[in-house]
Amino acid sequence: MAAPAPSSAGIVHPDDRQIVEKLAKLQDMYQQIGALRTLLPEKLINPTRFALDNPDGYDPEKLAAFLQGAAQAGSRDIGKFKRDWHSENVRGLWHTVNTNELPQGADAWTVDYELLARETGAKDDRKAAINAADDQFQLPTQADTAKIVNDFRARYPALKIKVSNEVDILPIDLNVAHLDFCVDRDQTSGNAQYTVKGRPTNQPSLLRDEIVKTIHASDGATGLADILDILAAYRDIKTRPCDKCSKLFSNTKLQLPLIRRLKTGVGEKEPQFVALHRDCA
């Protein structure tokens, strides 16, 4: 295993020295484990296999001496690893690891600026589109809204959808993948468009917030039927791998495939969506 380049000792601040020493111990343990993993296959099994495959190609005494040396060195390495593992130092390390909530590495950026920039751009575009369409647009009637909800119920009988009452219909509560969403008229669009948010009375959920952000950032879904359909498309968010990289979690940010993009031209009863990570979109 290649050792990382040594860093200059002057760089470490005295306050950080303890942390650096702990990391150094962890690194040492890691390297010991790496060396032990190769003990059996590389030092003991492979030479033996070579000897068995080539009965004339080796000197039995030399092989025996080699194997004996490798086994004894390996046994010493295992002994050292065990002593280190049970040492005060490493026990202290495990204690730190087990008693602290260590971040999983997704917290380096508390704000996703990339998404924020994209959202701002998309909102401006949408506003322009709404203004242009205002003249011809007619507000949906309550009967239209009720029909959309009933069609939705028929398409996704397993999803819990609750209208505020049978007359006003809106806002609509919808539970998808154990996440509570609320769909209502978008007050900023002269009530002609719809918007989705997490149900405020429920516990905060990072995943739900990410889904809402993604729906808002996507083009298109501003009509009630569209919004309900795209929400329904998240019912498998916790299990459906990305259609591009085939993984559930993205490599870089450990995110689920948050994007649901409508497949066009598919003659199915319910709309079909492609699932993608943001990085794969």
Cβ partners under 8 Å of residue 25, min gap 6: 89, 90, 93
Q: Would you say 75 or 252 has its CB closer to Zn ion?
A: 252
Question: 213 and 115 in contact (C-beta within 8 Å)?
Answer: yes
- Find tokens 């569209």 and name the residue: 226
Least separation in angstroms between residue 111's CB and Zn ion is 22
Question: Which is it for the CA torsion 246, 247, 248, 253, positive or negative?
Answer: negative
Q: Would you say 144 or 279 has its CB closer to Zn ion?
A: 279
Name the residue among 170, 174, 173 with its Cα closest to residue 139.
Answer: 170
Least separation in angstroms between residue 277's CB and Zn ion is 4
Least separation in angstroms between residue 252's CB and Zn ion is 10
CA distance 172 to 142: 13
Q: Would you say 43 or 277 has its CB closer to Zn ion?
A: 277
Q: Would you say 27 or 252 has its CB closer to Zn ion?
A: 252
Helix, strand, or coil here: 270? coil
Token duo for residue 272: 């079909």
Q: Which residues bind Zn ion (CB under 5 A)?
A: 242, 244-245, 277, 280
User: What does the CA dihedral 263, 266, 269, 274 come to, rounded to 10 degrees?
Assistant: -20
CA 157 to chain centre: 28
Shortest Cβ contact with Zn ion: which residue?
Answer: 242
Helix, strand, or coil here: 15? helix
Q: Would you say 145 or 250 has its CB closer to Zn ion?
A: 250
Least separation in angstroms between residue 207's CB and Zn ion is 17
Least separation in angstroms between residue 242's CB and Zn ion is 3
Helix axis angle, 206-217 relative to 113-133, nearest 10°?
50
Least separation in angstroms between residue 104's CB and Zn ion is 18
Token duo for residue 122: 């998309």
Q: Would you say 67 or 280 has its CB closer to Zn ion?
A: 280
